[in-house]
Amino acid sequence: MIVDLLRKSLAILAIATALGLISLGCAPEREAPTDASAADIPVGVFAGLTGPTATFGQATRDGATLAAEEINAAGGVLGRKIRLLIEDNQGRPDEAASVVTKLITANEVIALIGENASNRSLAAAPIAQAHQTPMISPSSTNPEVTRKGDYIFRVCYTDPYQGAAIAAFTRRNLGFERVAILKDLKNDYSIGLAEFFGEAFRKSGGSIVADQSYSEGDNDFRSQLTAIARAKPQAIFIPGYYTDVGSIAIQARDLRIDLPLIGGDGWDSPKLLEIGGSALEGAYFANHYFVGEDRPAVRNFVDKFRRKHGRDPDAVNALSYDATRILADAIARAGSLDRKAIRDEIARTKEFAGVAGVITMGEDRNPVKPVAMLKIEKGEIGLSDWIQP
């Protein structure tokens, strides 16, 4: 009797299991995506939303988000909406590699926007290349970034060109012959930009009369500044980030060093003047765009950003906005979500009316475009000159 009942129970259990009515305790299958999420286009954004240069990461997020909102409001791409999956790499190269791996393998993004800092892009690019996932850096200017593979792009100019442009401006526009350098030894961007500026400045007939360094996180720069003052330069080139520049400027003025300070695009942040204040009066720095430029693409972007955030957008906002729009344009031209087809169309980008310049991708996946040299005067940042490629 018991045997018969057991046989009948096993038979019923087998039928129910075959019909999918009962689970035998195996790991549950991954839940199927909803119709809405299945129709989306997943794009990964990785940036240092926290950490030492958090305003750069937040600017990347805000620029990409505004672009995605605009694109989706206009009907999306290929009838689908762009869905941004945003990851915080905490400003660390190892974490950048980790979150990019997650975005590609777990979230299955079709492309990546990021990073802004060159050292984080250099950590992430080999992973994107290995998985043949297009990656567009908004503002990593180190030339090695795009050399990591043919799936790696950028929408900013490179450090060799930026360095040459700043050197030309310093030599030709300002008429300086003797310049000192103060660079960050822990920052690939700073080291590279210092090298390219120095090389171009010497070729133009100028002299680098002092070459001092510090490390990210330092807060006392007086010994370096004192050594620089002894060399009697006409200006100090500081290829660092806004986080250090303001403190360096204050300490220079405390030491009665009233020389003009000159920098690169790493200075660009709403925090720059908050930190440095009047100590930055008369300083110059390179940037990718000028908020007051009178072009339709710039006016549209600035107006929408102001309405959304209540302030002017900075260059990283503009560059991440451009990177997202270029990606969407490439997807539309590819006609599919095939990563190889999207990569090919990004590479074919010609005369794209970006906020940070009209963009054409070169064979090396780097755009060539003008450099804006900005001046800080009476607590405001204005345009000094455009240096053409």
Question: What whole-number percentage of the chain has pLDDT above 70?
Answer: 90
pLDDT class of 216 with cuts at 50, 70, 90? confident
At residue 16, the pLDDT reads 40
User: Are the CB atoms for 236 and 229 separated by under 8 Å?
Assistant: no
Looking at residue 188, its pLDDT comes to 83
pLDDT of residue 389: 60
What's the whole-model pTM score? 0.78
Position 389, amino acid: P
Portion of the chain with pLDDT greater than 90, in percent: 80
Question: In 207-218, which positions are buried (b, 16+ CB within 10 angstroms) versus exposed (e)?
Answer: bbbbebebebee
Q: Round to whole Å and give the CA distance between 147 and 150.
A: 8
Average pLDDT, integer, range 74-103? 97
What is the tens place of the pLDDT at every residue in 2-32?
334 334 444 443 434 333 333 333 333 333 3
Any idea which of 227-236, 255-264, 337-346, 366-375 has the lowest mean pLDDT?
A: 366-375
Pick from 134-138, 188-192, 230-234: least confident:
188-192
The secondary structure element, H or E, covering residue 138 is none
pLDDT at res. 249: 98
Predicted local confidence at residue 24, as pLDDT: 34
68: pLDDT strictly greater than 60: yes
In DSSP terms, 77 is beta-bridged to: 80
Selected residue with higher pLDDT from 29 and 151: 151
CB of 166 closer than 8 Å to CB of 237: yes
* pLDDT at residue 28, as a whole number: 31
